[in-house]
Amino acid sequence: SAVISQKPSRDICQRGTSLTIQCQVDSQVTMMFWYRQQPGQSLTLIATANQGSEATYESGFVIDKFPISRPNLTFSTLTVSNMSPEDSSIYLCSVPTLAANEQFFGPGTRLTVL
């Protein structure tokens, strides 16, 4: 299993500003995923972050808006840039296990943009 922590757990931000969300894993993992969960909705994959390479973004998400860093095998950050109220969501990171494609999810960061 993997223990994942995220910081901050929640934040309230003004439109036009940026917020960086941190994801820390208690073990080394090659791949990490970032998801967004808008209010009342399901999870949507934002991007896949591999250590040592550029993140791969899903359709509808771009690096300028959601830059991702992956400096080592236990840590990643997601920045939500130039925020608008539509960015109000829960942002979650997850990591896969080596077997069975089971994934572990962080507790999420609840972002409110005013």
Residues that bind other proteins (CB under 8 A): 4, 30-31, 33, 35, 42-45, 48, 92, 94, 96-108, 110
* Comparison of 58 and 81: residue with beta carbon closer to other proteins: 58
3-state DSSP call for residue 72? Answer: strand
Nearer to other proteins, 12 or 15 (CB): 12
Residues 32 and 25 sit within 8 Å (Cβ to Cβ): yes
Least gap, CB of 67 to other proteins (angstroms): 19
Bin 85: left if φ > 0, else alpha if -120 < ψ < 50, else beta: alpha
Q: How far apart (Å, rounded) are the C-alpha atoms in residues 106 and 4?
A: 5
Q: Which is nearer to other proteins, 7 or 15 (CB)?
A: 7
Question: Identity (one letter) of the amino acid at 42?
Answer: S
Which is closer to other proteins, CB of 16 or CB of 107? 107
Where b means 16+ CB within 10 Å and e means fewer, 37-48 reads: eeeeeebebbbb
Least gap, CB of 44 to other proteins (angstroms)? 7
At its nearest, how many Å lie between other proteins and the CB of residue 42?
A: 5
Min separation Cβ 85 and other proteins, Å: 20
